[in-house]
Structure 1
Amino acid sequence: MIEIVEVTADNIQDKGFFCMRSKPKTEGYQRKQEWLLRRFEEGLKLKIIEEDGYPRGFMEYTPIEFAWRGVTGENYLFIHCLWIVGRGKGKGYGKQLLNDCIEDARRSRKSGVSIMTSSQTWLADKSFFTKQGFELVDQTPSGFELLARRFDDSPVPRLVHGWEERAAGYREGLTILKSDQCPYIQDAVTTIVEVAQERNIPIQVMDMESSGDAQHAVSAYGSFNVIYNGKLLTYHPVTKRELYKLLDQA
């Protein structure tokens, strides 16, 4: 049996939130759980698709006014994550989750649904969404693409440009701007701090406390940013080896 289960404050202890479900005692998992409990109050929804009771994927979305990406807009739902893994791939589960979100948006009288994609790592590729009626409405030279499925003629969402100028304000050493939107971020921070110490690079770690902080961060991804000497180094977790390479190329 295939079932879409909504995770709420009442069942999160039982259902979890898909990512890192095998490591519920880790700091990253605990921080994400607390983050979700606050975001539920803002209208965020997290839904897991289960096959015979086993989770195969999930979707996280929120009113765009509270999105943790570098976007701005009104009366849209914004998808943070849509992820199907392992044996769940190729069975249409992603489409089922997306359609569930679209129907939620219609019931809520939203003007549409939006998502950020990228040809790079850590975000979905746009091809799946364009096949479902999404269109490109904004993009960056670095490969981020903002897509929207419109229901009416209201203004579409846009990216909050100006990332390079904002990054230039963090001039010395490494700066990590982080949130708890992704449970893998905490381990990534530990890795980056270790590398900074090994190379004697000054480092500061700064928490983003609100969706507004993420919307006006130094990358379109918003919720995680690593800046080195005034320039964005990465927006997603990397291994030590990958980080060494990025620093050597900077």
Structure 2
Amino acid sequence: MNNMTEQFKNITINNLNNEHLCCAIADKKHQCGVDTKKVWLKERIAEGHVFRKLDEKGKVFIEYAPIETAWVPVNGDNYIYIYCLWVSGSFKGKGYGKSLLEYCINDAISQGKSGVCILSSKKKKPFLSEKKFIEKFGFQVVDSIGDYELLALSFNGTKPTFAENAKKQSYDSNRLTIYYGVQCPYIPNCVDQIKKYCHENHIPLELIAVDSLEKAKAVPCVFNNWAVFYNGKFETLHLLNEGYLKRMLDI
């Protein structure tokens, strides 16, 4: 296990500028998003935010933070919240996901945390960790909103919950409305694409920047960097491209 541990690296204030951030590693159109993410991450590291990745050019990483400072509408006492656990392509099947998740669990134990939690779903959805994999480590569903579920591994019997406002799942507008953060490097490019498409097709659009912890905790739906409403109803956490947007709007 030590050999595998040595293959990983944590992002720190000292190495942040020189390290890649995995998910947008090879795509120049997302470089703006990477730069924005690094600015955001620099402020979060001091709060106990962890970004741990494989020390190779690949999409293999885990990202988590204390629940009190996690930019999501989830509440709990002394928990760790996992934003993202991603192992892609040829890196799958080598135990990297297991190693990263166990590192997070052990880190939480060493800090005297009450447990670890993560957003998942009843059926596999893009950009969310697979429920069956997470359950293998003892995580259980502790709260749910529609198809979305909050899974937790409790060390002391306490449980985190979705914030009350997250259960609203509605927004008082018929416009295409998107809540977006800056944590994911893909988001700035997605926002540019959506703005261009909506302008060219005369689609009313409202973009709401979730640029503070307070705003993130108050989002009126499930949120993990991105949330889309249409005709007043919550639709998806899926990052939108032109094709997905056409299908959603039935154009």
TM-score by length of 1: 0.90
The Cα of 1:23 is off from its aligned counterpart by 4.1
Alignment correspondent of 2:78: 75
The Cα of 1:14 is off from its aligned counterpart by 2.0
Residue 62 (structure 1) aligned with residue 68 (structure 2): no
The aligned amino acid for 1:82 is L
2:186 to 175, 184, 187: 184
Alignment correspondent of 2:213: 211
The aligned amino acid for 1:202 is P
Alignment correspondent of 2:200: 198
Task: Give, in whole Å, the separation in 1 of the partners of 2:209 and 2:240.
Answer: 19
Q: Which moved more, 1:155-164 or 1:111-120?
A: 155-164
SS at match of 2:134: helix
Task: Give, in whole Å, the separation in 2 of the partners of 1:166 and 1:84.
Answer: 30
Task: Give, in whole Å, the separation in 2 of the partners of 1:197 and 1:16.
Answer: 33
Residue 152 (structure 1) aligned with residue 156 (structure 2): yes
Structure-2 change in CA distance of 1:165 and 1:55 (3 Å): closer
The Cα of 1:182 is off from its aligned counterpart by 0.7
Alignment correspondent of 2:225: 223
TM-score by length of 2: 0.89
Task: Give, in whole Å, the separation in 2 of the partners of 1:188 and 1:56.
Answer: 19
- Aligned 8 A contact 1:66 1:212 in 2: no
RMSD: 2.0
1:14 to 15, 18, 28: 18
* Matched length: 244
SS at match of 1:26: helix
The aligned amino acid for 1:38 is E
- Aligned 8 A contact 1:226 1:235 in 2: yes
2:50 to 45, 61, 81: 45
The Cα of 1:232 is off from its aligned counterpart by 2.1
Alignment correspondent of 1:240: 242
Q: Any idea what the Cα deviations from partners look like across 1:44-86, whole Å, max 9, x if unmatched?
A: 0000023xx4545100000011122221111011100000112
1:105 to 108, 111, 116: 108
The Cα of 1:15 is off from its aligned counterpart by 1.8
Structure-2 change in CA distance of 1:151 and 1:20 (3 Å): same
Task: Give, in whole Å, the separation in 1 of the partners of 2:229 and 2:81.
Answer: 26
The aligned amino acid for 2:234 is L
The Cα of 1:115 is off from its aligned counterpart by 0.6
- Aligned 8 A contact 1:166 1:217 in 2: no
Task: Give, in whole Å, the separation in 2 of the partners of 1:132 and 1:144.
Answer: 19
Task: Give, in whole Å, the separation in 1 of the partners of 2:41 and 2:203.
Answer: 33
Task: Give, in whole Å, the separation in 2 of the partners of 1:230 and 1:56.
Answer: 35
**Gaps in structure 2 of 5+ consecutive residues:** none
- Aligned 8 A contact 1:70 1:160 in 2: yes
Task: Give, in whole Å, the separation in 1 of the partners of 2:228 and 2:80.
Answer: 27
- Aligned 8 A contact 1:146 1:158 in 2: yes
